Structures are given as C-alpha cells and as structure tokens.
Amino acid sequence: MSLQAATKYCKKCDTEKNPSDFYNNASNKDGRSRYCADCTRLRVKQSQAKRREELGDERYLATRRGDVARFRQTEAGKRQVKLDRMIRTEANRRLRELHRDDYEHLLKIARREAQAELNEVSA
Ligand SMILES: [Zn+2]
C-alpha cells in the first residue's frame, strides 16, 4: 500500500491537484509544500513586490545586486559567469555573422555618434 495520496488539496486556491504540482518540502509529513506551486510562485511574487514597495526601487535593486555579487564570489558563481560569457560571446558572433550588413551599418552609426559625442565634450 502506497502512502502517497492520489491528489493533494491546496486551501489557498481551493483546488485538488496532483501531488507533483506542489514543491518538495521535507519538513511536512507528506514531503510536499502546503500550497501548490502556482500559489507559491504567486506568493513569492507578491512578497517581492511588497518588499520593493517598502524599500523603494533603488534600494530593492541594490540588495538584489548584492545577492548576485555574493553569488559570483562562489565557485559555482564563477563558473556560471564564465559560462554565461561564453554563451553570449558565441551567440553574438553568430548574430553578427547572420546579419553582417546590418552589423556593419550599425557600427558605422555608433562610430559617428561616438565621434560626435567626443567632439561635443572637447568643444
Ligand atoms: Zn494553490
């Protein structure tokens, strides 16, 4: 006899769902979160929005950046940064190759704008 129930009830959205629609949570008897994954995601979004409102955009984003900065100091973070850079570099290379004429055109425009800005500063 399996202890796994066929469905699990989420009292937040008042719905019977498949147990796999709930996040794992080892501290609960059935090993699943009290609320379904949809409700959990919604709750996280709402609490983030509330926190953002309380802190103000600038401070909220600063704390988020702090998290990212700390993560990047870890070995996993360093690997991730390196991987992201390789992926972006390769994607950019392919994009340039695919749209060589557009790229050359945009380079010309950017060069002209940068030159104009430089002239403005030194004028
Ligand atoms: Zn729910």
C-beta separation of 22 from 37 below 8 A: yes
Question: How far away, in angstroms, is 37 Cα from ligand 1 center?
Answer: 7
For the segment 5-18, what is each residue's pLDDT rounded down to a tens digit? Answer: 789 999 999 999 99
- How is residue 34 annotated by DSSP? S
Q: What is the pLDDT of residue 107?
A: 95
The per-residue pLDDT for range 18-59, each reduced to its tens digit, is: 999 999 999 999 999 999 999 999 999 999 999 889 888 888
Report yes or no: 28 and 10 within 8 Å, Cβ to Cβ.
no
Residues with CB under 5 A from ligand 1 (ion): 10, 12-13, 36, 39
For the stretch 77-117, pLDDT in tens is 899 899 999 999 999 999 999 999 999 999 999 999 999 99
Distance CA(91)–CA(103), nearest Å, equals 14
Residue 27 alpha carbon to ligand 1 centre in Å = 19
